[in-house]
Each structure stands twice: as structure tokens, then as C-alpha cells.
Chains A and B, each alone.
Chain A
Amino acid sequence: MSLTGSLSNALSGMNVTQRGLEILARNVSNAGTPGYHSQSQTLIERSGDVSSSVRSAGISRAFDESLQRHYGNQISSSGYAQVRADFLVQLESFLGKPGDASSLDTMYANFESAIQSMATSPDDFSTRAAALTSAGALADRLNALSVNIQNLRRDTESQMQSLVSGLNGDLSNLRAVNSRLTEFSYDDGARSALLDERDRLVASIAEVIDVNATYRDNGSVRLLTRSGVGILDNQQSVFSFTNGGVLSANSLYSSVSSENGVGSLSLRTSAGLPLDLVGQGILQSGRLGALIELRDDSLVQAQSQLDDIAASLAQALSNVDVASSPATSGAQSGFDIDLGSLQPGNSFVLNYTEGGNPNTVRVVRVDDASLLPMDNVGPDGVRTIGLDFSGGIAAVAASLNATLGGAINVSNPAGSVLRVLDDGVAATSDIDGLNASFTASNLQDGNLALPLFVDTANSAFSNSLDGIGQKTGFAGRISINSAIEQDNSLLVKFDVNSPMGDASRANHIWNALSDTQFQGEVTSTKSMGRNQLSGNVSALVSQMLSFQGASIEKTQSVQATQGLSMEALSNRMDEKYGVDVDKEMALLMELQTAYAANARVMSTVQELLNTLMRI
């Protein structure tokens, strides 16, 4: 071994020590930088003929692919939970806590109490005014909640819009990073910085949509959604979102673009193929997934529960029962009923026994041909049939007669009267009951029922199913009949001559509120699978609040869980990727010593060389 060999060995030692210091300085300075992965130098021994020097094998960056993948998934789930929690907490604050003055249950209870006071003092103007005020406050509250919910839906859209533009930006940045990573002209330090940037971008994308990242050897990354749609490879897909503008309860998602009432979120793949992200259910998690779920499901359900409450309020007060009268023809017996007052959405119920089995059929007036034929059996066993009444009762009778089979005879003896008879001598069927109800539209026709809560422009709410259905968004439109607002004695005087002290109408309202039972109707497949409210009005209110409370609670607990997992994962990443300053300092001392030692070797070699030269 020669002196020059020693010299070059010492030189190489000083070299890598300098490199090491450089990396150390980078690590220490970036100790607090988010997304910075600690770097380290790999040293290898180079043994030559005369020397055995050290050389740097490059900088290695702390990275664990499986941890990274796990992190990507967790970020999506956390983002999903976070967005849901953010929105539902807002909904919660709108709903208020039961017992609060502005909570729906308190307002309803106030309304009921006011009606009860009115039943005791129907002649007192201020008591009636108080009843009307509390009814108005209830309607206003429903309106306000509707608006709040629809505003939340609109917020989801504006968030989607900004998320989509951020997403596209991230994707194109990531594509640029990908292409730069494939070039090998960068030195290791710059490359590490690029990889940090890559991981930051992937995390940022994963937060918005659920993606699977595949890392190639050259460091570039390929992104797929969890459902398998390619988002970024060599080419990038482009997300686009068109805002639905002001959303109302009627604005619902539909895969048919002409019927779609909300903003559309689509993806143009690198192959140029357009994909409807909502309809295909491509997004399962991430912030966007949560926003879509909120806009098209959670918030829509909250609205429909409010609509149920509004509809039950209106109907409980305005439903007028029509009694049937017994009818016979030869050996056949059954009932006659006058269906003249039935409006679209009103219905009559037929109970009959056939072959020993009791059956209940509800026939709803549906004049919208696009909804027909309608024939569903609900979970409670009630068969709901929709029929068009606009062609007269004869057509209804003929159609029902054909539907119900030979043992039940339905006819139209005269006018708007419907007659249902059993099969007489054969005695395989019996008609057990026939009842109808219609929506009162007059305030003083002698009926105790009254249209206190009405739809827009004072029109009666009959829960018509025609079109998109009168119930859709009714909570946003429900208001107090302006005729009653002008003259609150109409709350008492069900007839022009009825005395002011007559509490019949107030009692009717009170009884109707407590006794009228509502059942989620199965009128179309759309309404299946939703959480159905049932019971009297107060039960609906209580169920709605309980349901929403439970779902908010669940969302919050999911968010807390996700937060904890995220935290655990962060700790793990901190251990793996983070910069431990103590370790770096120890290394610094080591490097310092190594440098000094190498320098000492060099100076010794130099002295030796000098000594040699002087000889």
C-alpha cells in the first residue's frame, strides 16, 4: 500500500463525509416539512489493487410502498368521513337539539298545545291568533329547514366544483412529475425532492377520490380508482363538473341527462371515453364520494322526511272521510261509495276476504299516465293500485274489476258512485269494508276538516303523485292558508252559522293530529329502500329527529375512528420517514470525527510525503 493510496482513501473518506453532511443538513432543515422523506447515504467500499477507498452509492429515500398504499386508502376514507361529518354537523345545528325553542319537536308540541288552548277558548281572538302563529312558525320552520338542506346540497356542488379543478391540477402536476421521473438526468437529491412531490400529489388526489397507486421502478406512479377506472398512466384523465345551479328539492340525480336536475360529474379518460361518475358509482370514497353521497342520498332523505312531516300535517287536518253505504244485488252484497270529491292523490281503501284470506287494496287517483300502471304491495301487505279517475268512475270500476279478479265485482251504478260486491252464491269472497277520503278545499262547507296547511298559491295539498309528486319538496312550500290568516275565526267556524264557542273544529284538529296514522307509501320503486316514517304526526317528527340524530352520531363516530387510524398511520410514517434530529446530531458528530480523522490521515500522509521529498 502506497502513500498515495492512503491519500486517495482519505480523500474519498472526506468526500463522502461532505456528501453526508450535505444530506444531514437537508434532513435537519426539512425536519418539519410535511411530506419530506428522510434521506440517507449508502456507502460502499471500493477496493482496488493498492487502495480500499469508500464511495457513495447514492442517496436512498425512506419509502415503504405498502405503507404508502395503506396511507392512500386511509386518506380517502378520512376525507370521506370528514366531509360527511362537516355537512351533517351543519344539518344538526339546523335541526337543533330536541327541547330547544327552534327544534321541530318543540315547535310541533307548541302547535299542539296552542290547538288545545283554542279548543278551550275558541272564542278568544288572541288564543286563535296564537294557534295560527304557532302553525305558521311550524310551517316556517319546515320551510327554513328545507332551504337549509337545499343550501347544503348546493354547497356540496360548489365544493365539488373546486375539488374537481384542484384534482385536475394535481393530476397534471403528477403527470409532469411522472415524466420528469423517467428522465435520469437528475441527481439523487433532486430526484428525492421529485418523489416527495409525487407522494404529496398522490395523497392530495387520494383525499378527493379513492385511488390505488401503483409505483413503477423508475419512480413514476399509475393511478386507478378503487373501482378500476384508470385515471393516470402516461396520459391523464380529465374530470369535469357542471354546476347544477340553485338546487331545489325537485332537483334530483338521474342518469338520463334530460331528467337530471343536479350538476353532472364526469370523467373523460385518456382514451377519450366519457364516464358518468355518479351514475356508474365509480367514486366510493374520498371527499368527492362523500359529497355525491350527501347530495344524492343523505340530504335528499332528510328532505323527504321533512316532506313526509309537512304532508302528514297538511293531510291530517284536511282529510275528510267518506262513508260507504251497504249495497246488495241478488245474493251479492257489498258497499256503495261516492268518489266524486276525490282529487289526484286521494284514495279509497277496500277490505275484502277472498278464500279466507283478508286483503287490503288502496286505490289512489293517479291521472298522470306516465306513472301507470301502478300496482305494488307494501311491506305492510297493503296493495296500492293507481288508477286514472279523469275518465270517470265507470272506467275506474271497469279497470278495478278486471284487476281484482272474478270474485270481486266492481261496477258504477250511477254518477260517481262505485259499487263493490262479493260473488254472492259462490260465497268465496266477502266485502268487509270500503272507505274513501278526500282533501277538503273549502273552509266553511260544514266539514270539520280544513286546509290549514296549503301548497303554493293556497292550493290544497292532496299528495298527488302526478308528475314528480306533490309531496316532493312540500316542506319547502308549506304555508298557512291565507284566508285563515285574514280571518282566524275560520279555525272555529266550520259553518257560516256555527257559534264562536264551538270547539268541534279545534277538537277535530287535535284529534286528527294525534290519531291520524301515516304510513310510508309504496307508490313507486323509487320510494322503496328508504327509511320510512310511520305513525301520527308527532311520531313522524320524533322518528325524523331520531333517525337524523342517529345518522349524524354514526357519522361522527366514524370520523373519530378514521381520525384515530389516520393518527396511528401518521405516527408510523413519522417513524419511518421522519427526521430524527437526535439521530442526525449523533451522525453529525460521527461525520465531524470522520472528517477530522480523514484530514489527520491526509496531513500525516503529507508530512510523510514531505519527509520523503526532503530526503
Chain B
Amino acid sequence: MIVNKSMFSTSSSYYNIERMRQTFDDLQVQLATGKKAQTLSDMGGTRSTSIDLRHQLSRIDSFQENITMVGTRLDLIDLVVQRVDTIESEVRSFAAADSAGENQVNLTTAQGYARSHMDELINLLNTKFAERHMFAGNRTEQPPVKGMDVLLNGEGGRDGFRTVVSERKAADAGASGLGRLELSRAANVVTIDEDGTHPFGYKLSGASTDSLGVTAGTIGGGPPSLDITFNSPPNVGEKVFVSLTLPDGSSKTLEFSATLSATPSAGEFQVGATNDDTAANFEAALQNKLLGETSTTLNAASVFAAADNFFNGNGETIQRVDGPPFNSATALQAATPTDTVVWYEGSSSGDPRKSVAARIADKASVGYGVEGNEKGFLELMRSLASVAVETFSLGDTTAEARYDALTDRQMDRLAESNNNRPGSVEVIAMELGVVRNTMGSYKDLNNGYATQVETVISGLEDASLEEVAIRIQTLQVRLQASYQTMSIVSQLSLVNYMR
């Protein structure tokens, strides 16, 4: 009921003063807050622009937060990747050819060395940052790799790498120790047969000779077989070559040279009285050679083949020998999570970088995921495990040869020439470097944009201090004048002058 009550009791000059007072208060608030508008309605036409710009700003802020967060994670990943690279080169130099060392000192320490590095690699792959496992792709909630002891020895009824290796060794060596080959002779023809169609043992890849008296046949039949026919005695020093492919994909060429000595050394066969005798001698030499190779080279190849099967990469399944019996096994079977330890439990994808992504601008995102089963980590893990699982004792006559075969393979797998392959440690480091670079430029871009937006918002919303101050000044003068006038006018009444 305000309207009525003040019907004609107050004069209009009072209203004006009241209004000025109100403006004065508003200006004071503007001065204090630095903002033109204090309420939604005060904001006027800039309202929706200001709301939209604030929204933009908040989005940019969240992108900047992402960039900072990812930057911290990349720092950590970088450290780990660098360390892995160092381990790789350390292992490589340790495994330099013929590195059994003086008094075979390396031989005895090889296993311990491999184990400690493997342990470190596992720890590195299990790196955790704020409850987040950085090398598990997007399955960050659990450590991607099992501990070394579990990996090697198994756990809770599940077999570890050691068991898988021993099964593989048995399957590759076969019952006879000839690497799943069978030798037979009919008169002057020595026949080498694979004992079945399976992935184990030696695979025949060819035979050749430089002797006119010997015919090296071609591989035929299934399972493959190869004939070497002695038609006339080879000359001394003439050679027969038998090429084999080993389970890990490496190849080995066995070389036999003809000799007249009754006690041929390894790699020699005696030329006999008849072609049949020569064939028999060759068969014996071949058999000896195969037995020797099986316990050394094939052994190493088996370990690496088992490592390839056990430490699976993206798109591969864990496989183990279908058995028992293992020494006559004919196939690999997929391991189940209940019978075999699964070495890597992170996520696995064709493009690991994309497994984890962060948005760094409205339409831009960077992938910075790293998965522990990428090629670089995988090969290092396989080589380290292969050595770690082997024992080299000084009394073991095959130890040095085995060690050499293993280190050969290790060297091969960890060679610098692999660095350009997708997934190698170097490529990972490089790709993450690119990510860091992209983020850096977006960070600058976002900062620039944010500054721009802030400037616009400030232009829309901030009160100019000078303007407000001047307005207050002017208003003050007017207000004072009004007060003065009013007080004078109020004294001017006829009442005061009547007697």
C-alpha cells in the first residue's frame, strides 16, 4: 500500500535526492566489485554473450587441465621408457658375441643378470601414478604384468614360463633327441624325414653339395623328407650341406665334409669303401651332429619359441604344447587362463597410442596410451625371460654353446636395426614426443584463446575505474548542491517571518 500513503506528503525534490543516493550506492558497489552489473538483469544485452564466453572459458580451462595432467603422466612414461631403453642396451652389450667372458664368468652370472633386469622391467611396466598403471593401455586399474616369480614358476595351478619352456624343449627335441627328425638309409641313399606334420623340432629347408658324386635331393612329401644319395665317393674336403629351420624361425646349416680319416671329427664323414658305406658314415655323422645341435642350438631356439608363445603380443594367443606326451606332440594348443599364467593383463590394441586419449581442444585430442605388450617391451621381456629361465653351470659341457646360441638370438632381437619398427621402445618414445609437442602448441593456443576471451568478458563486464570515479565525483557535487538547496528552501517559510 505504498502508493497511497505518500500521496502528497513528500516533495518531489526528495524523490530526486533519493534516486541520486541510489545511483551513488550503485556506483560505490561498482567501485568495490569492479563489475558493471551485480545482477542478472543489470547485465543487459551482453548477458548471453557473457554466459557463452564463460562457458568457452570453462571448457578451455578443462582442456588446459587435461594438458597439465597428461604432461605429468608423459613425464613419468618418458622416464620409464628411457630406463627400458637403457636396459635394452645394457643387455645388448652384455650379450655381445662370444661373451662367455674370461673363465666363463658371464656364463655363471648371466642368469642372475637377466633375472634382475627382468625384475626391473616388470616393475617399470607396472609403474603406477596416482592409482593409474601407465603401461596397461586403458586397463589401468591393475598392474599389467605379473611378478617375475609368478611368470617364471607359475602360480595357483597355473603353469609359468619354465614349464612351458620345458614342454617346448621336449616337443622340439623329440624322444630320440634328433629334433623330431628321423634318419634312415637304404643302400646308398640317406633319407631325412620329419616325423610328422607339426610345428616342432627341425624343419628341413634344403640340402646341397659341392661334390659331383653326391646328389642332394629336394624336399618332398608330407611330412617332408629329403634324400641324399651317394653315387660315387666324394673327394676329400667336398662338402654336403643340410639346412634346417629352427622353431624360433632362425636357420642353421649343418656342414659335413668328406674325410678319409677313420676317426672323423664332428662335421666330417668318412668316405667308405662303397657308396653304401659312405652313406652309412654320413648318416652316423648327421646323427651325431643333430644330437649335438639339439642340446645347444635347438635348445636355445626352443626357449625363444616358447617365449614367443608364452609372452604374447597384440592379437596373439598364449600357446603351449598340446600334451602330454610332449616329446611326440603334434600341435600347439591355446592356453587357458586356468592352466597358464597370463603375463600381460592390460589392454591390447592395434594402435596402443589410441587406447588412452585426452581432449586438448574442442576438436582435438591426443593419444598417449602405452601398452606393456608392445613390440619393444615384448622382445626385451622375451629375451630376458629366455636367459633367466636357463641355467648354465660350469660343469655342463653344453653350457657355453647354449649360452652362445641364446645370446646370438638375444642380440638379434634387441638389435638397433629394430628401432624403426612400430612398437619399439624408440618409436614409443618418439611418438610420445610428438604428443608432447602437439600438446605444447595447443597449450599456447588455448592460453592465447583464453586470454582473448577473458579480455572480451572483462570488456563486457568490468566497470572502468576512471569512469566510475568521475561519475561519483559529478554525482557528489549534484547531491551536495541538492542537499544545500533543500535545506535553504525548507527554511523559507512564511511561518518564520510572522510575528
A interface with B by C-beta (< 8 Å): 32-36, 75, 78-79, 82, 92-93, 95-99, 105-106, 108-110, 112-113, 116-117, 119-125, 200, 203-204, 207, 499-503, 507, 510, 538, 541-543, 545-546, 548-550, 552-553, 556, 566-567, 570-571, 573-574, 577-578, 581-582, 585-586, 588-589
Contact = CB atoms under 8 A, between A and B. Distances in A.
A548 B41 CA distance: 8
A97 B43 contact: yes
A207 B58 contact: no
Contacts of A582: 493-494
A112 B62 contact: yes
A116 B48 contact: no
Nearest to A99: B54
Closest 6 CB pairs of A and B: A501-B140, A499-B139, A501-B138, A109-B58, A500-B141, A113-B62
Interface string B119-142: 000000000001110001111110
A540 to B, nearest CB: 11
Contacts of B498: 585, 588-589
Interface string B473-499: 000000000000000000001110010
Contacts of B12: 567, 570-571, 574
B21 interface: no
Most chain A CB atoms below 10 A, which of B5, B9, B357, B461: B9
Interface stretch (B63-71, B79-87, B151-159, B261-269): B63-71
Contacts of A200: 4
Contacts of B131: 123-125
B138 A499 contact: yes
Interface in B272-290: none
Contacts of A117: 62, 65-66, 69
Nearest to A104: B51
B4 to A, nearest CB: 5
A585 B494 contact: yes
A501 B494 contact: no
Most chain B CB atoms below 10 A, which of A541, A570, A586: A570
Contact of A96 (B40, B42, B52, B357): B40
Interface string B69-109: 11000000000000000000000000000000000000000
B11 interface: yes
Contacts of A585: 493-495, 498
- Chain A at the B interface: mostly helix, strand, loop or mixed? helix
A125 B494 CA distance: 83
Interface residues on B, range: 35 or more
Contacts of A550: 41, 47
A501 B136 contact: yes
B51 A545 contact: yes
Given A113-B58, A499-B141, A500-B141, A553 B50 contact: no
B359 A510 contact: yes
A538 B58 CA distance: 12
Given A499-B347, A501-B140, A570-B6, A556 B41 contact: yes
B44 A553 contact: yes
Most chain A CB atoms below 10 A, which of B7, B39, B43: B7
Nearest to A108: B55
B61 interface: yes
Contacts of B140: 123, 499-501
A98 B1 contact: no
A123 B141 contact: yes
Contacts of A552: 40-41
16 contacts: A32-B9, A75-B4, A92-B39, A99-B54, A105-B51, A113-B59, A117-B69, A119-B66, A207-B3, A499-B136, A499-B139, A503-B138, A550-B47, A567-B12, A570-B6, A577-B8
Contact of B8 (A95, A123, A204, A578): A578
Contacts of B61: 113
Contacts of A571: 12
B51 A75 contact: no
A405 B138 CA distance: 52
Nearest to B362: A514
B3 A78 contact: yes
A501 B51 contact: no
A110 B9 contact: no
Interface string B324-358: 00000000000000000000000100000001111
B453 interface: no
Contact of A542 (B52, B63, B355, B357): B52
B37 interface: yes
Contacts of A116: 59, 62-63, 65-66, 359
A124 B72 CA distance: 15
Nearest to A542: B51
B437 interface: no
Contact of B7 (A499, A500, A570): A570
Given A105-B51, A499-B139, A112 B4 contact: no
A95 B9 contact: no
Contact of B357 (A97, A113, A123, A503): A503
Given A125-B131, A542-B52, A95 B40 contact: yes
Contacts of B138: 122, 499-503
A499 B356 CA distance: 11
B38 interface: yes
A581 B494 contact: yes
A542 B141 contact: no
Given A97-B38, A123-B132, A123-B140, A503 B356 contact: yes
A121 B69 contact: yes
B47 A546 contact: yes
B47 A98 contact: yes
A549 B41 contact: yes
A34 B9 contact: yes
A487 B15 CA distance: 61
Contacts of A121: 69, 130, 132
Given A79-B3, A510-B359, A552-B40, A546 B132 contact: no
A546 B59 contact: no
B37 to A, nearest CB: 7
A597 to B, nearest CB: 18
Nearest to B6: A34
Contacts of B42: 553
Contacts of A119: 66, 358-359
Interface string B346-377: 01000000011111000000000000000000
Contacts of B43: 97-98, 549
A97 B37 contact: yes
Contacts of A566: 3
A136 to B, nearest CB: 18
B3 A203 contact: yes
Nearest to A493: B141
Nearest to B50: A98
Contacts of B494: 581-582, 585-586
Interface string B7-20: 11101100100000
B132 A124 contact: yes
Contacts of B6: 34, 570
Nearest to B139: A499
Nearest to B45: A550
A95 to B, nearest CB: 6
A501 B128 CA distance: 13
A110 B55 CA distance: 9
A105 B47 CA distance: 12
A588 B39 CA distance: 54
A198 to B, nearest CB: 13
A97 B40 contact: yes
Nearest to B58: A109
A263 B40 CA distance: 31
Contacts of B9: 32-34
A92 B69 contact: no
A148 to B, nearest CB: 14
B363 to A, nearest CB: 10
Given A82-B2, A112-B58, A501-B137, 9 more contacts: A108-B55, A120-B358, A123-B140, A200-B4, A501-B139, A501-B356, A503-B357, A585-B498, A586-B494
